[in-house]
Structure 1
Amino acid sequence: MDLIEWLASRSQAVSLVEVVQALALPKSSTLLLLRTLVDARYVTRQADGRYLLIRLPGEPSETNSGWGMILRVAEPILRETVAAIEETGFIAVLTGDWQVRYLNKVLPMREIRYDRDIATQRVAHYVASGLMLLSGLADEDLEAYLRLSVPDEDDPGAIAARVSAARREGYVANLHGRVEGAAGVAAPIRDPEGRIVAVVNMSGPRERIANNLSRVTEVTVEAARRASEALSRRMFKSEKSPARN
């Protein structure tokens, strides 16, 4: 981490000797560390043998979903939204096996509030976050999900209809969630290419959400829009400025 931090402070590519001298590390160990960072695609080795940091941990790459970056840019917006409507907020993503994973949880400052264990992943079509995330799948991937991940007791056609509605409306409102007495609204966080990479989910007691559904939907969609813009700015900055000053 010291090496990554030091590289992040450089505006130009650096040589092996410069790293050794700056961090007072053995040359052989430093070379192994740099090779590890190159293999992990945090650092690139240029034609002249100098090293340049191209991304930080948590930022997207060909093999990294960038969940850390998503959480960093979205969490402040989520906290503002929770404070504004006093309901519980989550950032959720879809795993490689089509489960919903919650990256965080922000609880409101009120006595009666909705809480959930975010260590447990959820079946995607059972929750508002999952339906919104499924709406971002390519048609062939959605068909595979419906074929491979839907239990016999669930109706693939009904699930497909809800996903289509999510694509059309740009949000999902679920007033009859799997948790008795709970309801929620989810809206998509998109990357610069318009792909859904995460969702903002606001949840609370069913009656309170239902009575305030328009407002909850409005602020959820707005939070997701702001998070999408912040993520696009951050990713654009990473692409244009691979070395940090």
Structure 2
Amino acid sequence: MDNSSGVGVIDKAAMVLDALEAGPTSLAQLVASTGLSRPTVHRLAQALVHHRLVGKDIHGRFVLGGRLVELASAAGEDRLIAAAGPLLVRLRDATGESSQVFRRQGEHRVCVASAERPVGLRDTIPVGTQLSMKAGSAAQVLLAWEDHQRLLDGLHGARFTPTILAGVRRRGWAQSLGEREPGVASVSAPVRGPNGRVIAAVSISGPIERLTRQPGRVHSDIVCRIAAQLSDAVRTGQENP
């Protein structure tokens, strides 16, 4: 399908932003992803950096910029967050555990929505919390479907292995036992955007004593179902019943 608007520079800038949706990207990777020439990509990326639509991480790779977050907030329209609230409450009530949605942001994953367990021992993760991409089932999900080079970079220093991520891709969900924090278990599943890319992870977390040492066996079906409903909501702009 032709996605051209007829305004060449805008179309090319949009291609650069689309390529950055998957996470930190080098200039060479942007050239490969967009099919544009290296000088064109470099010129566009630097212009987008100037306007804060694109930024750079500590390794000099291009990332989506803070201005995009400000614009989304000003518009008051974030389909993922808008749809996540009632679905996370449904997930919490079905499992009895705290539920969250995480997005990747550079070298971290950020909690963008949550529904806390109202009573008893909780694994509290407030909205805005930044956690490592090196441990936890949500980190596994956010990394498992990355391209080969990003996957290799993400595995460096991680508490999970390539074999574990292969299992995540095969099953469609991830679990962790004490990876992020001793005594805490979690189960996560991917949320996909309109283009099929993994844009977030839906998770539940709580003490191993409650979730058991095989939390995926107990809770993966409902976590995957909620993640699929959130994916549908992101694609259509409508909340699932």
- The residue number in structure 2 matching 1:165 is 167
**Does residue 191 of structure 1 match 2:205?**
no
Alpha-carbon RMSD? 2.9
Maintained 8 Å contact 2:186/2:205: yes
Maintained 8 Å contact 1:129/1:186: yes
Question: What is the CA-CA distance between 1:191 and the residue it aligns to?
Answer: 1.1
Counterpart amino acid of 1:186? S
Deviations 1:15-35 (A, max 9, x none): xxxxxxxxxxxxxxxxxxxxx
Counterpart amino acid of 1:83? D
- Give the Cα–Cα distance (whole angstroms) in 1 for the partners of residues 147 and 214 of structure 2: 33
Question: What is the CA-CA distance between 1:227 and the residue it aligns to?
Answer: 0.5
TM-score normalized with structure 2 length? 0.62
Structure 2 gaps, min length 5: 1-50, 54-69
- Give the Cα–Cα distance (whole angstroms) in 2 for the partners of residues 141 and 212 of structure 1: 28
- Give the Cα–Cα distance (whole angstroms) in 1 for the partners of residues 131 and 52 of structure 2: 30
Question: What is the CA-CA distance between 1:190 and the residue it aligns to?
Answer: 0.6
Deviations 1:81-105 (A, max 9, x none): 112221001100111x231111122
**Identical columns (%):** 22
**Does residue 108 of structure 1 match 2:122?**
no
Where do 1:1-245 residues align within 5 Å?
57-58=71-72, 68-95=78-105, 97-116=106-125, 118-146=127-155, 150-151=156-157, 159-210=161-212, 213=215, 214-234=217-237
SS of 1:113's partner is coil
* The structure with more radius of gyration: 1
Q: Larger RCO: Structure 1 or Structure 2 (Cα < 8 Å, ≥ 6 residues apart)? A: 1
Count, aligned residues: 169
TM-score normalized with structure 1 length? 0.61
Structure 1 gaps, min length 5: 1-38, 42-55, 60-65, 236-245
Question: What is the CA-CA distance between 1:127 and the residue it aligns to?
Answer: 1.0
Question: What is the CA-CA distance between 1:80 and the residue it aligns to?
Answer: 1.1
**Shift in alpha-carbon separation, 1:98–1:89, aligned structure 2, 3 A:** same
SS of 1:93's partner is strand
Counterpart amino acid of 1:126? A
